[in-house]
A and B are shown apart, each in its own frame.
Chain A
Amino acid sequence: MCGIAGRILNSAGRVGNDLVELMDAQEHRGADSTGFAVYGIPRDTGYVLRGMGFDKSRLGKDMDEFQEILKAHGSDFSEDPSFVVDDHAHYSARIIINEPKDIARWIHDADQICGNFEVQSCGRSLEIIKDIGGSTAVADKHGVRDMIGTHGLGHARLATESSVLPNASHPFWARPFPDVAIVHNGQITDYYTWRDRLRRKGYRFLTENDSELIAVWVSDQIASGLSPIAALKKSITSIDGVFTFMIADQDGIGFAKDRFAMKPLVVIEENGEMAAATEEQAVRRIYAGESDVINHDGPSLTGIWGVGNRSLAA
């Protein structure tokens, strides 16, 4: 039992704060870890990275190694990285880089040191913040409430398929596709088989979490020529398990639900803005009045909300 959330604003605003509210209302669904994917104002060039190092005593060494790999790909830090370090062994980093020559080749090489330092998001606007603990603790530690953006995702995790590790938290970045992130409520049963197939195509998975598959699977289908909505529809019959997942990119947020209608999704759309969550009481944190609530309760459902054009394409 996890809790997920999505939020779209008409224009850049306090989307971080809204996501924290959505997740705070659903903390009882899982407080092993909490994560946020925030789509900030996109940069024209270069990428913003979020990452995690597993031994804070190695921080300087990790960054040196990381920078060396960047330089080998024609990139570099474009400003000084910032870090969040506390009592835990792991630390978090926010890094702005210049354009690497080839993002997929660079991340392939950067992942050579993923045992020490792991890139957890890369995009023109996407930033993934994840950590162990409940929503308030994670939000306070990483300043999520102050993050400005147009849309984003949230996740509260009750670990079922893999350990409670800071990097096994959601959201997951669809490595190596910039700006693609997912959150998932449920369990995928055939993720080992799918990961094997995708590994043979050159993809890389850094955790033992079943949900990491979904991000890459959907992105690979789209890269192979399917439209986003067709890829979401195909996931329902291709991926085995119970799921309601939301996947976001710079253009919007999509969702898909399994054939058994096991996991709910509640949505309020008002004045062109949208809030989605596992539980209605969470979206009521954003829209306190009596709003028209859409319950996506049925089986095998999909939809996409666009940023800028927020009508639901089912």
Chain B
Amino acid sequence: MSEVVIEAGKRHIKEINEDIQAACAAGHKVIVRNTLSRHNLGVGLPANANVHFEGSVGYYCGGLNVGATVTVERNAGWAVGEGMRNGHITVGGYAGMSVGAAMISGTIHVKGDSGPRCGVAMKGGNIVVEGRIGYQSGFMAHSGKIIAIGGAGHSCADALWQGEVWVAGPVDSLGVDVKVVEPTAEEVAEVDAILEPLGLVDSSRNWRKMISGQRLWYFESRDASAWLMI
């Protein structure tokens, strides 16, 4: 696979993305330089595309991905991989708010920390954060797994639906309607299978698995106090 270098700079984002798409369609691996933290870089990439962004990117990088492999050298802004249906995104540094918002499938791997509401409203797939996940991470996640090796900020797993939040490090506080359960060996094996290709398996970890307490699933007047906590 030959490499093509694309200069982002101050050009119109549509032009940059069209260049990326054309190079991907021609079967090249794409390296994007001079990204200047621009928004919407690599949104809507085709399956089998392989794109590397040098430096940092802005909002929605790799959003609506249908199967591309995307790497970001340093930091990503809001909602990296928003709404992605498939593929693999790696962020080398910090990922801002709402990592993988409403994603359906695929994997997002963040090597640093993540901002607030990581995995908000995600409907499937996996988010692996080597550092800490920010405030209110997992907020209203419908399905899928958020795996935080370094720990979690306040209000962790707030108002979770059917998603799961796995944390190995310290958790500042739990959100509304969270149940912390002891994972079974089979469940830990499932998480290790996600971490294995990333080279992150460590059998000595003490996982906490957070799931919904299901008190917010249906309104019950006797549970009004739980609703008022939101």
Contact = CB atoms under 8 A, between A and B. Distances in A.
A206 interface: no
Contacts of A260: 136
Given A261-B135, A290-B74, A297 B116 contact: yes
Nearest to A294: B94
Please report whether the interface of chain A is mostly helix, strand, loop or mixed according to DSSP: loop
Interface string B108-147: 0000000111000000000000000011100000000000
Interface size class of A (residues with CB under 8 A): 10 to 19
Interface string B53-65: 0011011000000
B39 A281 contact: yes
B5 to A, nearest CB: 17
B37 A281 contact: yes
Contact of B38 (A281, A288, A295): A281
Contacts of A261: 97, 116-117, 134-136
B118 to A, nearest CB: 11
Interface in B144-181: 153-154
Interface residues of B, number: 23
Interface in A248-275: 260-261, 264
Contact of B116 (A279, A290, A298): A298
A280 interface: yes
A233 interface: no
B154 A299 contact: yes
Interface in A289-305: 290, 293, 295, 297-299
Contact of B37 (A280, A298, A299): A280
Q: In terms of DSSP, what is the predominant structure of the interface of chain B?
A: loop
A295 B56 contact: no
B115 A295 contact: yes
B75 to A, nearest CB: 6
A298 B75 CA distance: 16
Interface string B77-97: 110000000000000001011
B36 interface: yes
A155 interface: no
Contacts of A299: 116, 135, 154
B116 A284 contact: no
B96 to A, nearest CB: 6
Nearest to B39: A281
B97 A264 contact: yes
Q: Of A279, A290, A297, which is in contact with the most chain B CB atoms at under 10 Å from its CB?
A: A297
A297 B134 contact: yes
B146 to A, nearest CB: 16
Given A261-B116, A280-B77, A288 B97 contact: no
A185 to B, nearest CB: 14
A92 B6 CA distance: 46
B36 A281 contact: yes
A15 B135 CA distance: 34
Interface of A: 260-261, 264, 279-281, 284, 288, 290, 293, 295, 297-299
Given A261-B117, A293-B75, A298-B115, 11 more contacts: A260-B136, A261-B97, A261-B135, A264-B97, A279-B39, A280-B37, A280-B58, A290-B74, A297-B116, A297-B134, A298-B134
